Amino acid sequence: MQDPVMRQAACVCGQLRLSLKGEPLYVSSCCCTRCQRRTGGFFGVTVYARPDQVVAGSGRTQTFHLPDGSTTFHRCADCGTNLWWVPDDVDDVIGLAGGCFVGQDLPAPQRMVWVEHKHPFVQVPTGLPTFDGPPD
Ligand SMILES: [Zn+2]
Ligand SMILES: [Zn+2]
């Protein structure tokens, strides 16, 4: 059996790292207002994986719980990059910041969600499934 592919993600300053073992469950672009503010980009790209696929590296973290109790963000304690997040009500999935996998040959996003909040100038790749809100 082939060894599963390993991909590394890191924060901006490099002190917080993680490894993803095997292929992600899926990759999703999200135009929701939280992803726009969280990333500072016009949409966020999330790599979803099972918790047992994620190998935490060294690094100091800070957490931020969304006030609605839906999600906990894990950020680098030094530079503040939000490297991963965990839904508080689901224990079988973890979201990883796609943009932190620099140079790691990630699969392309398979859908774009919350396009209701998409800036008009953001182009949706041809054929990419979109959802006005959350995915069905
Ligand atoms: Zn950092
Ligand atoms: Zn979002």
So where are the chain's domains? 6-117
Radius of gyration of the chain (CA): 15
Alpha carbons 118 and 17: distance in angstroms, whole number: 30
Q: Which ligand is nearest to the CA of 77?
A: 1
Q: How far is the CA of 3 from the centre of ligand 2 (A)?
A: 32
Note the CATH number of domain 6-117.
2.170.150.70
Q: How far is the CA of 2 from the centre of ligand 2 (A)?
A: 34
Contact between residue 16 and residue 57 where contact means Cβ atoms under 8 Å apart: yes
The residues that bridge with 76 in the sheet, in sequence order, are 61
Which residue matches tokens 């963000």? Answer: 73
* Digitized pLDDT (tens) for each residue of the chain, 136 residues in all: 688 999 999 999 999 999 999 999 999 999 999 999 999 999 999 999 999 999 988 899 999 999 888 899 999 999 999 999 998 888 899 999 999 999 999 999 999 999 999 999 999 999 999 999 988 7
Q: Which ligand is nearest to the CA of 33?
A: 2
**pLDDT at residue 88 in the model:** 87
